[in-house]
Structure 1
């Protein structure tokens, strides 16, 4: 009977199956890709680092730090810094990352070069390995030379890949590897130069790296150094894609939830139409168990088939992710397929279909044989206890599933609470509308308008079911769209001809005038000249920093060890605003030195306005008072600072400068860089236009993934809406036929259906978008932790779009009634 009835109702059940397939496909594809990503990170973490662990410091190691390093006997050493280099062959210049290496690094993975032998011979021959893309760009080949500071080295080979470099970093500053022994001769490491020393270690598998990390981390941090293991590298890589991962999981959860709504609404209306047939079966002697099992087997079978198809589609879909993420993942993701996702998809399809169809299915248990004669829809309702038990089971399933996806109890509870509130609000709005229409029924209206309103509360109406289905579908689609906007808001990189697009760094005091003259000689503007003074904290609120290091919290200790690069000026810039205290722009005679600090520094060091901080400015102690706290937008591509002094304090301190200018085109940029590097080899130049291009390219790929998953889930939602409205077709046909039999014209039937579906679509979509707005604000504040500016698209497109979609589907339901005679329609549908 289950098979025969399913064959007879296959058109009605098609959209029900589609809801399951799309929901399962989204979950399986995202989960399988996430699992592969995590497995790849764990498996390749050593090759990514090139060692088991590394000790790093951004200054010449202190005596105690060097003693710790020496006691562990490093297997390789590196110093790296960003600098300009030149190609004597054609006069080209480029900002690069110079990596001076000593030892047999890497111990895991390989240095990929062309020719392959260059990786093994460059140390002995005293040559350089130059980024392969850079060599193509400047038309140089092995055997040509490269000028690094005051040293000219032959190019041993092109560098294709090396552990410790990522696609993003190499695009901004391509790596150049030279022997460590030449670093001193380059004379590039001068006052204020940003540099990093690394000591690489290879150890036996038996060494407990976690215990070593705990034992040495505090000691090294006290010396402004840190220890990183390959284990922590893999954790950090996982966290790097956290927000994108959260969104993808959210998309999977919403796609599945939309599928569940489609199942519940479709089966609710489907079973409602079957109640009279079930009553007939019971009149003929069928038991409760038999009538229940007929439809349980039918729904379970559809769930298994839908789950299997969805899982297979999901396995195919997840192959797309590495294709679009390859340019900013620091490794190649190897996709492995196992039986687990397919089994998970089948079981998920089975549980989803049965659980969310259980409530309408239980009505078959309570159908009385007298239902054949009864018209009252209340006659076959299941007891309240049974309904509460099913609702509880559904909530438990949703909680467990969301917890499995998000791995966070509070997030899972939050999703369940928001979903439950949305369901309750929509059901409440539908019931209130029905009550209001009943109470204030417009008796003076015309026949078609009155009939369409009567349809909203007549026996066997689907007002609550359709408003809940339309509203929840719209709400989830809207939430997904708003969430997409939250993540993609950061992809808008504003550029203007008035903004600086060239940053010249590490300009020494004696070079400043000459550099400015060179820029002005090319008719380029000096947009800003920022002085930089290096300093450390000596005392905070009367406590010595050396004492605080030993007992402070981990987050605070990071700033206590920090060497600050601070500036002085008399005004705020557009990336900052004062949130506490008063901005002091200039030192007044016989006054304390009032400084301004960033909000993150204030929070980490636990200082506020009025507190005293003593700085060690290259051997000179200076007492300052916190005059204001600033909120800084660190995302803006311009120099920002934790500490800003007023004018009249640091002018005589040892300092270097950052000069900002704007170049109209690529040729002008190349000419300026070539000229400056030839005269001042120590300075570094960043062309922000290249950075803009790189960031936009990366973010475009992330945007594609996010938009794809959003579109995937939105399509699922639309199919659910189509299914929910379309399934009501078979009940409406008989009503429309009866109206035609009584003399109603096609135009009147169309108007009755149009008014009813217009009301359902408009009310459901409006409440759904408002719920989406509320849930998106919660997501922005609590999950993504990003600012949220709501888009008008859901209001201007989703509400009218979904309303028209519901209207179109509703009118298509009665198309057969309008084209054929009443008797022909009744025979065909029967």
Structure 2
């Protein structure tokens, strides 16, 4: 019976199946991609680091740290830092990351260069390997020269890849690799320069767990760190797990959207089958039999939908390595595993049956007397059965969300958020129907009245279409609004008061000459900020070295090993606000020094106003007292500080300076950078214009990925829309035929249908955009703490676009009525 009835209703059943195919495809493709990512990270963990393990430190190793490093016999070492370089060929300058290497690093993976021999010859010939993209930008070729500090080296080749590096990190500061022996000659490592020393080991036989357990505490006490290839790959895996969880949730929403379509379509389908079920019961069919007939149908299309969705998902996951290649520090090898494939098929079955359960329960309570009733379905369902079915659906959704997120609270918040969004959309749909019914414009024209009646008559699509259209529009609009918030945070103020060039590592004896260079290039020095480096010696009378070994401490690890770059001044700047305590502008030098710290440092160091901190200022211990806590806008791209000293304390301490200026044009910026690199090779210049371009480029790449996933939701919503409209096609045909029989013209029938679907399309997309506005406003206020200026794109594109799409699908539904005679149509539909 299930097979025979399904053959007669195959078009509608195929549309049910289409509703979930894309959702399953999205989930399966992302699951396969996440699994491939995890497998590749584990398989290539040594290639990610290029060694078995390494020891790194942000300063010259202490005597004890150097003894530990030497005892393990490093096979290669490097020092890396950010600096300006110049290209004599075209007088170009660029901020780059310089890596001075010695030894045969990498031991796993390879330096990929053009020409290939440059990977090994650059050490013996004394040349430089320059990022391939950078060489294209500046029209450089092997044999050209590069000026690094006080030395000029030939370019040995273009650097295409090195273990552990990504295209995104290279876009921020492109890599330049030179032999380690030239580092001292560059004279770039001045006092206060940020640098990192790394020592690499090729020792595959070492027990890494035992080594890490034994050495890590000793190295941490010396401000050094041990990283093994396994711990590095584990951290990298956790980082991409967050991305995978987000993409999984987006795919899950697309699947939920399809399931809403199934629930609504099955509801209408079962309504049309009430008479047939009543006849079956008159002929002796039991409740169980009538229920199973339709359960088997839904289960069958669920399995078939799962198989098709899984097949599409297997193909789609090939796209993700292409999209994400710039974010991955390795080449991704794709393989197909059984678990996501089996999960996709089972998901199709379970989700279809679960979401069809409520309408299927109607078959259980159909009375044989329905055959004789004219008014349609009057059967009453059991409230208890309905509540049990709802509880089972919610429990499954929560369990599946927990499986995706591995966090019960996040899963609960996600399901709660989805239910609230669904509830709002469904509530507005029900409210709209009641409002139109209560205040029905009886004096309106015939076509207007008829189209409004269609919104609340039996077999209406108001709820399902508003939920499907609204949720899809909500997702994509939230993306656009959120992207605008992020981009606004990096917006560059085009005023002379806003610094867009920052010069770093200016030594005290260079300040006057650097400022004079600014003036020569007709630029004004906006800020001259002195920087003093220091570390924490004790917090609230607890020695930092002791706290590092204390496993019960709640103080964050970075606080205990961080080298703070602090400054002193008598005033706050625009990006700062005192939230606790009082600001102290100057100090006489007697007694404990009052300092101001940022909110994040206060939280991570577990200190508040009145607590004591002793700083080690290059060997001199300085007791301080926290007098105020500041809220700092770190998104504001200007020099901000976690620790601020008052005037009168650090003026005589060893220091270097940061000078800022505003360059009105790219040409004036380039001119200043060339002059500074020529006169002061150790000074680095950050051009915020380039930084904003990089940030925007990264955000665009991320938003493309999110757009791609939101596309699943939108496309699923369209399929649900088509399915919902087509499901009630025959009901609509009979109504339209009756209207034609009563004398209605084709133009009137078109107008009735057009008005109904145009109303649904506009209201659904408008609701989605308005909900997105609210959610984005909340994100702006509570997460980003930024003013919210929404994009017009959703209003100008999504609102009319989706409304017209809904209109087109609705009108396509009555083509048969308009082209055929009433009698012919009635024969076909009967």
The answer, yes or no, to whether TM exceeds 0.5 is yes
CA distance in 2 between counterparts of 1:119 and 1:807 reads: 61
Aligned-residue RMSD, C-alpha: 3.8
CA distance in 1 between counterparts of 2:531 and 2:444 reads: 78
| CA shift in 2, pair 1:700/1:796, >3 Å | closer
Q: Does the CA-based 8 Å contact 2:46-2:108 persist in structure 1?
A: yes
Q: Does the CA-based 8 Å contact 2:425-2:470 persist in structure 1?
A: no
Relative to the length of structure 2, the TM-score reads 0.88
Match of 2:326, SS? Answer: coil
Aligned position for 1:201: 201
1:467 to 463, 466, 469: 463
Q: CA deviation at 1:252?
A: 0.1
Q: CA deviation at 1:621?
A: 3.8
Match of 1:106, SS? Answer: coil
| CA shift in 2, pair 1:277/1:205, >3 Å | farther
CA distance in 1 between counterparts of 2:697 and 2:441 reads: 59
Aligned position for 1:626: 626
| CA shift in 2, pair 1:38/1:637, >3 Å | farther
Q: CA deviation at 1:331?
A: 1.8
For residues 231-630 of structure 1, what are the structure 2 equivalents within 5 Å? 231-241=230-240, 244-284=243-283, 286=285, 288=287, 290-338=289-337, 340-375=339-374, 377=376, 379-423=378-422, 461-462=458-459, 466-467=462-463, 470-471=466-467, 473-475=469-471, 477-483=473-479, 485-486=481-482, 489-492=485-488, 493-498=490-495, 499-551=498-550, 553=553, 555-587=555-587, 593-630=593-630
Q: Does the CA-based 8 Å contact 1:733-1:814 persist in structure 2?
A: yes
Structure 1 window deviating more from structure 2 (135-144 vs 338-347): it is 135-144
- Is 1:81 the equivalent of 2:86? no
Q: Does the CA-based 8 Å contact 2:530-2:657 persist in structure 1?
A: yes
CA distance in 2 between counterparts of 1:376 and 1:4 reads: 27
Q: Does the CA-based 8 Å contact 1:568-1:645 persist in structure 2?
A: yes
Q: CA deviation at 1:26?
A: 1.6
- Is 1:101 the equivalent of 2:97? no
Match of 1:327, SS? Answer: helix
CA distance in 2 between counterparts of 1:23 and 1:153 reads: 55
CA distance in 2 between counterparts of 1:785 and 1:408 reads: 23
Aligned position for 1:651: 651
| CA shift in 2, pair 1:261/1:788, >3 Å | farther
Q: CA deviation at 1:507?
A: 0.9
Structure 1 window deviating more from structure 2 (249-258 vs 140-149): it is 140-149
Match of 1:637, SS? Answer: coil
CA distance in 2 between counterparts of 1:88 and 1:451 reads: 78
Structure 1 window deviating more from structure 2 (797-806 vs 158-167): it is 797-806
| CA shift in 2, pair 1:561/1:49, >3 Å | same
Q: CA deviation at 1:502?
A: 2.8
Match of 2:327, SS? Answer: coil
CA distance in 2 between counterparts of 1:144 and 1:333 reads: 34
Match of 1:573, SS? Answer: coil
Aligned position for 1:217: 216
Structure 1 window deviating more from structure 2 (2-11 vs 389-398): it is 2-11
Aligned position for 1:688: 688
Deviations 1:533-586 (A, max 9, x none): 112233434444444444373643421322211112343334333333344444
| CA shift in 2, pair 1:197/1:823, >3 Å | same
CA distance in 2 between counterparts of 1:454 and 1:371 reads: 25
Deviations 1:628-673 (A, max 9, x none): 3222233343322111223343333221111223445555444433
| CA shift in 2, pair 1:700/1:408, >3 Å | same
Q: Does the CA-based 8 Å contact 1:47-1:163 persist in structure 2?
A: yes
CA distance in 1 between counterparts of 2:549 and 2:191 reads: 29
Q: Does the CA-based 8 Å contact 1:534-1:655 persist in structure 2?
A: yes
Deviations 1:92-137 (A, max 9, x none): 5443333222333211111223443343344445444344444555
| CA shift in 2, pair 1:277/1:333, >3 Å | same
Q: CA deviation at 1:771?
A: 6.0
Match of 1:40, SS? Answer: helix
Aligned position for 2:71: 71
Aligned position for 2:12: 12
Q: Does the CA-based 8 Å contact 2:468-2:720 persist in structure 1?
A: no
Structure 1 window deviating more from structure 2 (508-517 vs 62-71): it is 62-71
Q: CA deviation at 1:792?
A: 7.2
| CA shift in 2, pair 1:779/1:296, >3 Å | farther
Q: Does the CA-based 8 Å contact 2:480-2:791 persist in structure 1?
A: no
Structure 1 window deviating more from structure 2 (40-49 vs 423-432): it is 423-432
Q: Does the CA-based 8 Å contact 1:261-1:469 persist in structure 2?
A: no
Aligned position for 1:30: 30
CA distance in 1 between counterparts of 2:368 and 2:188 reads: 94
CA distance in 1 between counterparts of 2:620 and 2:382 reads: 82
Aligned position for 2:225: 226
Structure 1 window deviating more from structure 2 (249-258 vs 64-73): it is 64-73
CA distance in 1 between counterparts of 2:89 and 2:656 reads: 31
Relative to the length of structure 1, the TM-score reads 0.88
Q: CA deviation at 1:340?
A: 4.8
Q: Does the CA-based 8 Å contact 1:479-1:773 persist in structure 2?
A: no
CA distance in 1 between counterparts of 2:111 and 2:321 reads: 23
Aligned position for 1:701: 701
Match of 1:77, SS? Answer: strand
Q: Does the CA-based 8 Å contact 2:92-2:138 persist in structure 1?
A: yes
CA distance in 1 between counterparts of 2:175 and 2:431 reads: 67
| CA shift in 2, pair 1:166/1:804, >3 Å | closer
Q: CA deviation at 1:288?
A: 4.7
Deviations 1:310-369 (A, max 9, x none): 222222222222223222322222222345544433332222222222332343344333
Q: Does the CA-based 8 Å contact 1:292-1:365 persist in structure 2?
A: yes
CA distance in 1 between counterparts of 2:427 and 2:686 reads: 59
Q: CA deviation at 1:212?
A: 3.2
Deviations 1:235-274 (A, max 9, x none): 3333445664343222201100011001111111012112
CA distance in 2 between counterparts of 1:95 and 1:744 reads: 74
Runs of at least 5 residues in structure 1 that lack an aligned partner in the other structure: none
Deviations 1:23-72 (A, max 9, x none): 12222222222222222222222112111221111111112222322333
CA distance in 2 between counterparts of 1:427 and 1:167 reads: 45
Q: Does the CA-based 8 Å contact 2:481-2:791 persist in structure 1?
A: no
